[in-house]
Amino acid sequence: MARWLLPEGISDALPVEAQHIETIRRRLLDLYRTHGYELVIPPLIEYLDSLLTGTGRDLDLRTFKLVDQLSGRQLGLRADITPQTARIDAHILNRKGVVRLCYAGSVLHTRPSHPLATRQPIQVGAELYGHAGLAADAEIQRLAVESLRTAGLTDVRIDLGHTGVVRAVLAADAAALPLKDDLLAALSAKDGPALAQLAAKLAPTTAQAMQALVQLHGEPDRVLAEARALLPQHPAIARALEDLAWVTVQVPADAVSVDLSDLHGYRYYTGVNFAVYSRTLGVSGAVLRGGRYDDIGRAFGRARPATGFSIDLRELARVNGHLADSAILAPHDADGALHRLVAELRAAGSVVVQQLDGADIPDALDVPREIVKTNGRWGVVDRNVSGSPRA
């Protein structure tokens, strides 16, 4: 096997892609800073029991594991940064009141999330701790939508759900417990026939509710009205539907929908959850996911309300086709005036590349302008196709 080959699902980020990723990362972290979110940088590796606390079996299967030669304890390479921020909030910062944290860093997955996905996403996200009210959910959802628009996406649609609905339906029927995993899989896949077959083993009220849930997705007013009519009259269900009715009018997305059968992160989320989509990327899957996960801090010794979201920067960087920055070509010259002009241009954010003696301009570099000396003064001019200044 060739030494330069990388493992399946692992790839380099080459210059244009890497620059695009970095540009988006800076814009998003600056956005979060303006909203009061403080940056944290958790370690890439830590003890496994801490890394997987409260996250469920799905994250366990996606986490690479190894043994620490110093302590003999099992370590994990993080597959998600969110549990680490919960640990920081609950155990390290230990602040009272609302805490807003953000992050950006690589994670590693044992298997890709879908056939075309990388196993080394670059995850960026924001988390809000210490507030159990819907205002916190709305803030996070608005910030999620603004994140995608900041990254250049348009036609942003948010799809809202609530794990409390399915939990309440299943909790009311003891016969559902041994069938739970199969029921959740069929419901999440919106597999009506499979759900009907499983529902035959449930109490009539539960069976009716499960079969209704698979149809309850789409325009918020219609879905919520049908849910109130078709689902059991249970306080937890009524409360969840009221929560959704409130948040659907708070999010400034281009379109808002409700999906009561979207169970992504069911074992993790405890309340309102959401997925955000955009046609700009040309993919059918969610670009961003988030929601409320109040239980995770309990295992770190401090139960804290929590809600947040995360994005894969490598997926997001596909917007605009990885457009590279254009550059200005500077000649190789010892003139101090030239060096001062180059410094001024770079300080203003321009990319200035110095031409080395006898070296060609790299083919991949977009260089539409160059610095030339005219009448004893250095200035920037457009270049023509042949590479010489225009008259």
Q: What is the per-residue pLDDT for 267?
A: 81
Residue 167, pLDDT > 70, answer yes
| Whole-angstrom distance, CA of residue 60 vs CA of residue 72 | 19
Asked if 107 and 42 count as a contact pair (C-beta separation under 8 A), the reply is: no
Per-residue model confidence (pLDDT) at position 391: 39
- Give the confidence band of 390 by pLDDT, cuts at 50, 70, 90: very low
Q: In this model, does residue 92 exceed pLDDT 60?
A: yes
Alpha helices in the chain (DSSP H): 15-34, 48-51, 57-62, 82-87, 134-150, 163-171, 180-188, 192-199, 204-213, 220-230, 235-247, 313-316, 336-347
**Radius of gyration (C-alpha) of the chain in whole angstroms:** 26
> Residue 79 has what pLDDT?
94
Give the tens place of pLDDT for each residue, 197-250: 998 899 999 999 999 999 999 999 999 999 999 999 999 999 999 999 999 999
Instruction: Give percent above pLDDT 70 in the chain.
Output: 93
Distance separating alpha carbons of residues 329 and 355, to the nearest angstrom: 7
Please give the pLDDT value at position 32. Answer: 98
Rounded to two decimals, the pTM is 0.87
User: Do residues 313 and 134 lie in contact, with contact meaning Cβ atoms separated by under 8 Å?
Assistant: no
